[in-house]
Structure 1
Amino acid sequence: MNMKRPPMIMTGHDLFEADMPIFVNRAYESFDLREHAHDFIEITYVSEGEGMHYIDGEAVPVQQGAIWYIPEGRSHVFRPRTTKKDRPLIVYNCLFKTAYLTELGASIPSFQAIAAQYAAQSLQFFEVKDTRGEFHALFRELFREYSRRTEGFLAIITALLVRIVTGLHRQRGHQRVADGASPPSLLSLEESIAYIDRHYATELRLPDIAAQASLSERQFSRLFRKQTGMSFTAYVQNARMEEACRLLAASRLSVSDVAAQIGYADMKYFHQLFKRKTGVTPRAYRGASSPNGNLPQQRQEAPFPD
């Protein structure tokens, strides 16, 4: 009878050095390592290749740029796509004790809420994509500092860990917002901003977005201005006008089509807003954006006035 072997248990005692709350390596995944669970948190970055991630009974394809957050106790293992040596699956592993994440939250007030969320036993594993290569640079620096052990390295890898966890939190929010056409049942402030960035062409109302963030309009407006430097209305209008500028310069859409595409049916109002943003009419902007045009760069990039 063919029975599946239970996952082995990896403990921090086997990996972490004395007085070292973090373990970092760069590994070639193979078929030798058994499926395993562990008593620490793991963040894995797929640096090269592709393969499969077997986790809690699921089989998920992975490829370069995938980042996995794996809480304590989750049974998992990465496998390469093939045994061929010229097509390896190479990952960076960042392992750290859950208690250390909690300690960082206690010592960095602005990080406390995120640390508490990612140290929670109820948090499920998840994957995000490194769409711009930012995480790749962070993990390379993390591995370099951990390996070289030059003076002050622990302070640097701790700061990098905070950046990585915070970046995961942001990217997770962006992906959750991007997956649906309407806001999730509850949005953080950052997720609200991400939602606006992706849906500025739709009808966006402050009361609705504030309610999704479980805040009053006054609270939301105050926090939103502190985060973005603009009011809710100015931020939406700025996003729309920036897209209008891009469409006018890069496409052959008519001015009315551009207005419609960014969410304006009232052409008079669109013209008024556009001129406030750029100092010129849409047609003049298109002409000045041509190779022989002469659009003032400072006005072109100025934020929408609040």
Structure 2
Amino acid sequence: MNEGNPEIELERTPKKAVIPASGLLVFESHHAPGFSGQAKDTSSKFHLVIAGHSRWEGGGRRYFLGPDTLIHIPAGQAYSQADLPNDPVTVYGVHYRTELLSAALSSQLTALGMLSIDLGSANVNQARVVRSIFQEMLFEQGAGQEGWEMMLQSRLIDLAVRTLRLARRRGRNDLPAFEPGNDSTERVARYALRLKSRFFRQETIEEASKAVGLGRRQFTDLFRKVTGQSWRRYVLGLRLNHAAGLLAETERSVVAVAFESGFDDLSYFNHSFKTAYGCSPLAYREQRQVRLPVKSAASSKPVGDGEPSAGFKLRGIKGWFWTAEQYLEEIPFLPCLKMNFLMDCYGSMISSQSVLQPGKTGSNEWWKPMTEDRKEAYARIICACQDNDIKFCFALHPQLGSPRPLNPDRAEDVEQFYQHYAWAQSQGVQWFSICVDDTGWGVGGPAASGLGHARLVNTVLARLRDRDKTAQFTFCPVICWGDATNPEHRDYLEVLAREMHPEVYVFWNGDSIVTPRITRVAAESYRQVVKHRLFLWDNYPVNDGSPTLHLGPVSGRETDLHEVIDGYLSNPMHTQNQINRIPLATCADYASNPREYNPARSIGQAILRLAKTSEQQRVIKDLVETYPGFIVAGGGTGTNPVRAKFGNLVAVRDSRSSAQTFIHHLENILTRLATQFPKQFLSTRKTITEDISWMKKQIGSKK
């Protein structure tokens, strides 16, 4: 049964299990159509069929197995099995050494020979109870928490005893025990805490109430008081969270993930998951797991000769407080991605000490001439763009971080501001920009602010065109996001529509400043008010200088945005410009041909472009999956998915081992990254090192 994951390995014959040192192995097996074969193992085993039908034969007896059939095969028992045509089996199993059970229990099971029990007919509760045992064993083995081997052995004993009793028709459904306590609220709180590692149990609310010695009504009231949620919603949330982790970190089928997470109904699981996460389980996995392609290829369908452009006319990137060296390092990479546009970061262009960087001091002294060193550095950047057929856009911000914000009505201010544009034009620059984002209206309000901004843009553009009629201009307004339906936003944008030169492009961030989804509806609404051509300033994968990485593919941008927007500009990470090439490649892929863009395909090709050997590709793949980006992981530009995941791990009871394992995983990535790329990704390695140190400190504080 394989509809959950078309790429999962299917078994065609029984395989011999390799028992670990603990003496017990829990596993899942997905059979291919036509599965059949014979087996004889030195270990004993339990199998629980969860889907499909199969015929077994052993010890002179024949068995017909279907869903919820439990079968026990003693060590040394030879048997054969064959799945029904077109109805392959999905089965969970436990292989164990007989010495894990007491001699008496083991001998009694062995005496029964090969044993099959239809749990569905044995007792109304037995099927779900036995499924819970397998689910708990799978969870414990996968989590590797303290004492997990003992937990597996105890559940094995439970399973063996229950099987023996069922075989003798003495079915019984034991309710979970709970430690006594006088305070009802305390008992419910402890129960809620315990649920975090027992959510997969098939337990009714009546059983939960009885387990803490309360009536249903009192239990539900206290549970909501303790957790802020109903019992059903709380359990569902735990199950869905566990399922999300399995989908992101394992190759288990959707059927298996649902089963292990406590869901008996696959359709209910799919519906609940999509409601909670906004996508199907398979789509969720595709967003978080990188599949490396066999060979490099064009990520999107190329545009043929004579065909109209399939994407945005202008496709590029801006810096984020990048140094001149960072720009020069990335410019040669842009043509490889079919990008044709680069805008400087206005903050670092004229700030005396890059004031706008986190933790830095200084000021935006826009009125002062640029130093000769800065002119020389940016002259090299401009020349490099010209050599690579990249349009360089010279951008400044006259207000942000400045002790003396520019006054558009003051001629001296405008003249001092214009001197920088005149210098850039003298270097052959033809694209220019003024940005006033991240500022307010001023005392005059939206309309007055819009009028002042329009006049400033018009004045600078007119003077540039006096020298070069082909000069182009972009403007990033105060309101550079949304659909322009807010009355104040509309007042400001309508003035720009009337007063600003009609050939000026307007930067727009999307439905909001930082957003997982950008829609055509919002773009059309905004453009209808501002009445200028739009240039999408996509705030991905920018981290705003925060200690985090956003490496997953861009997604959530509608496929027809290029029909209403002329340009696409990706906003990058701060110091990590080298690893930024991974998400940037997906942004370029989208911008080149939005309709054919596939995030999963694009990220695989991006890795192959950057990493040449299989070892390099695997470590970059692991790095991307660990830092998938805020579009996938949630949060914003400063969200760190590694620290968020670690926080979730340590919040769960008895999860110290899982947290340590996660730290080791990150240390392994760091070591491999340094080995495979000894001279690259230094700032990326610094970020990972800081995350490892932070996690170790958190664990140390909890000792």
TM-score normalised by the chain length of structure 1: 0.45
Compare relative contact order (CA 8 Å, sep 6+) and give the higher one, 1 or 2: 1
Bigger radius of gyration, 1 or 2? 2
